[in-house]
Each structure stands twice: as structure tokens, then as C-alpha cells.
A and B are shown apart, each in its own frame.
Chain A
């Protein structure tokens, strides 16, 4: 089966600009996650969707970050305006139903550099 797809793979922007990342989860996976991974740290969950509803966005900086999953399939994460500290890898993951929901499948990530 195809894995989690993300684009772009790399993005360089200046501070105060906006940027958007796209994710397409594994077919049939109802749960989708966005993580932020700063260099030298583990991934930090930003937001979790179940179908097109938000389950957890407690660590999403809502003044500048937004995410949507309109049709319960692919998702977009946006940053507006970007700050230097937003430089990180943004990982998308998905998980399936039932017992298999514990295992998360990660995409390759988008490496964002804010200058």
C-alpha cells in the first residue's frame, strides 16, 4: 500500500511570510496527525483529526498555525506569519481503525527553514 505522502519536501521562507504544507494519509486511515520536530528533539503533536473533526489541538499555536481536513482525507497545515522558531520538520502521520490505530505511519516530512 502507498504510504503517507507529504509536499513539499523542503521549503525556505523569510520570517513573516506564510507557508502551507499538504498531507495525504494512507487510504482508509481515519485519524491524521501533524507533528513538529525541531532539530535534536522528538516530534511534538500539533493537531489530531478523526475524519474531518479535530480531536486534539492543545499544542497548536493558534495565533499563527491553522490546519484543516475538509473531506476527511487529505489535510493542509498553514503557518501565517512564520517566525524564526518555526524552523523544523513537519511530519504528518495517519493511523487505521481498531487495534491497528495504535500504530502511526509517518510521512517523509517537510523541512521548513525560516530566515
Chain B
């Protein structure tokens, strides 16, 4: 497995705005996952995008994957205070289910 690098490290927005965070990785992947961690619900899987997919939606979440640039982005639309959390990407390479997390993007949504 390899570690994804999330960018920015921290992001502060107003409720109702959109939040975009990015993930870069170094080698070819099979899939890439996004996880969210907050004090209330702990670490939770958000979405998985496979290497042959370019975009995926889940509710207010939109994930894109650009394998030529070795990058992914997570867009949260119409953000809410409850979206305040750390967001991690986890690129998966080869067999096995090992996940390697970076330091994450700390998102703060203010009222």
C-alpha cells in the first residue's frame, strides 16, 4: 500500500459553502477510499472509487479520480457544521486490504 497526501492540511469555511480537498499519491492504484473522522462517530468510510472510474457521488459527496495526475478530490457540497472533521484518503495498491493514512485535511465548518 502507499500513503496518500491530503491537501490542504486545514480548511475553514462557512456553513452552506462547498469544501474541496485533494489527495495525491505516487504509484498506480486499484482503488482509493476516503474516510472521515470526528469526535462523535469516530473513523468512518465515506466512499470508494476504483481506478477505472472518474467520478462518483454519494449524497452531498462527489469524488473524482485522475489517474494520469495520480490525484483525487473530495467535494462536499452545501456543508454543515456536522461535516467538521478530519478527512483522510487511502490509496490501495496491489493485493491485500492494508490502508495507509496520511495526516488528513482538518475541515472546520462554521455557523
Contact = CB atoms under 8 A, between A and B. Distances in A.
Tell me if chain B binds chain A.
Answer: yes
Interface in B84-111: 88, 92, 96-104
Given A91-B43, A108-B42, A109-B42, A102 B101 contact: no
A102 B92 CA distance: 9
A56 B96 CA distance: 10
Interface stretch (A19-27, A43-51, A62-70, A71-79): A43-51
Contacts, number: 44
Interface residues of B, number: 18
Q: Which of A40, A44, A55, A106: most chain B Cβ within 10 A?
A: A106
Contacts of B99: 45, 104
B45 interface: yes
A42 interface: yes
Nearest to B6: A42
A102 B102 contact: no
Nearest to A103: B45
A101 B97 contact: yes
**Majority secondary structure of chain B interface residues (helix, strand, loop or mixed):** strand
Contacts of A103: 33, 45, 48
Contact of B104 (A42, A55, A91, A106): A42
Nearest to A40: B103
Contacts of A45: 98-100
A104 B88 contact: no
Interface of B: 31, 33, 42-45, 48, 88, 92, 96-104
27 contacts: A31-B97, A40-B103, A41-B103, A42-B88, A42-B101, A42-B102, A42-B103, A43-B43, A43-B101, A45-B100, A48-B96, A48-B98, A55-B96, A95-B97, A102-B33, A102-B48, A102-B92, A102-B97, A103-B33, A103-B45, A103-B48, A104-B45, A104-B97, A104-B99, A105-B45, A106-B42, A106-B43
Interface of A: 31, 40-45, 48, 55-56, 91, 93, 95, 101-109
Given A104-B97, A106-B44, A107-B42, 15 more contacts: A42-B88, A42-B101, A42-B102, A42-B103, A42-B104, A43-B101, A44-B100, A45-B98, A55-B96, A56-B96, A93-B43, A102-B31, A104-B45, A106-B42, A108-B42
